[in-house]
Amino acid sequence: MGVDGELAPDMEYELAGTPCGDVVAKGLAHIAKDVANQYPDDDILAELNIESYMGARICDSGGNVIGVINVFHTEKIEQPETAKALLEIFAVRVAIEMERIDTLKTLKANKALLNATLNSTADGLLVTSNNGEVVMTNRRFAELWRLPKDIVETGDDDKLLAFVLEQLQDPGGFIGKVKELNASTVEDFDVLDFKDGRVFERYSCPLELDGKAEGRVWSFRDITVKEKAVASLQESEDRYHSIFDSSSDGFVIFDGHGRIREANLAACRMHGWSEE
């Protein structure tokens, strides 16, 4: 709100019993004189010695009233027809700006929600363009690849790629696969082995917008603990079979129905069974 060419503080304004309320209900209004007496419940009109008034609806693109643009004057409004035309033009421009601001607020909120969602996932995510340029990464990606803060903040593609390749046992195979997938629209799953013993799963799929591939999404998950558990289990299994098969004592394993599930070489020889 502006008063005498100066911005005034924001305020709440009850529309009932005011000319603004009539504009919302009926549309464009022009009161040439004595407006304060016509709206005795509107204290602001009397306090500011308002004589004349003109107001127009502000409507969004759907035709919904989202505000009112008003002109209050302590004297008679000169050239009211010109003033009406200008006010209607300003109302349209204000409506466009208000919708633009609301759209930006919605986009900002959606972006914040998307970032919060992406940063809450257990997977490291990387989105690249068709040219291989980094479009975005989430927090987990930086953590998994142990990226320095300066690389994350500057978004330097070359430094990021160099830092990633330095950690891998087969950097050539990695970059070759990246180039191959960037030129295709297929999904791909692979496992990456690191120099320090870590193991990542890598999944990649095309990023499609309106049915057209615009880049790729790369997902990385640290499976080092799982791989070590599998390797430890396999080692234990191999050790068991080594002892089981080489023992001079006969061992026979039965299932719950009394059927032989497994027998070692010594047991087969003792009972004259085929080793098969």
Give the domain CATH number at 188: 3.30.450.20
Same domain for 244 and 188? no
Task: Determine, yes or no, domain membership for 160.
Answer: yes
Same domain for 22 and 110? yes
Same domain for 235 and 207? no
Per the DSSP assignment, residues forming a β-bridge with 29 are 55
Task: Determine, yes or no, domain membership for 201.
Answer: yes
Q: Whose CA is closest to 170, among 130, 147, 199, 145?
A: 199
Give the residue carrying structure tokens 């394993």: 253
Task: Determine, yes or no, domain membership for 276.
Answer: no
Torsion sign (Cα): 142, 147, 153, 157: negative
The reported pLDDT for the residue numbered 15 is 84
* Amino acid (1-letter code) at residue 51: E
Extract the tokens encoding 18: 């005011």
Q: How far is CA 81 from the centre of its chain?
A: 50
Residues of the chain scoring pLDDT < 50:
none
Same domain for 212 and 236? no
Task: Determine, yes or no, domain membership for 89.
Answer: yes
How many independent structural domains does the chain possess? 3
Work out the burial of residue 94: count CB atoms within 10 Å of its CB; fewer than 13 is exposed, 13-18 middle, 19 or more buried: middle
Same domain for 236 and 209? no
Task: Determine, yes or no, domain membership for 69.
Answer: yes
Same domain for 200 and 250? no
Of 115, 138, 164, which residue constitutes the final position of a domain?
A: 115
The reported pLDDT for the residue numbered 135 is 86
Same domain for 169 and 69? no
Same domain for 236 and 217? no
The reported pLDDT for the residue numbered 4 is 61
From CA 177, how far away is CA 152, in angstroms rounded? 23
Cα Rg for the chain, rounded, in angstroms? 37
Does the reported pTM lie above 0.75?
no
The reported pLDDT for the residue numbered 144 is 93
pLDDT, tens digit (0-9, with 9 covering 90-100), for 185-226: 899 999 999 999 999 999 999 988 887 888 899 999 999 988
Same domain for 88 and 7? yes
The reported pLDDT for the residue numbered 171 is 93
What domain range is 69 assigned to?
A: 2-115
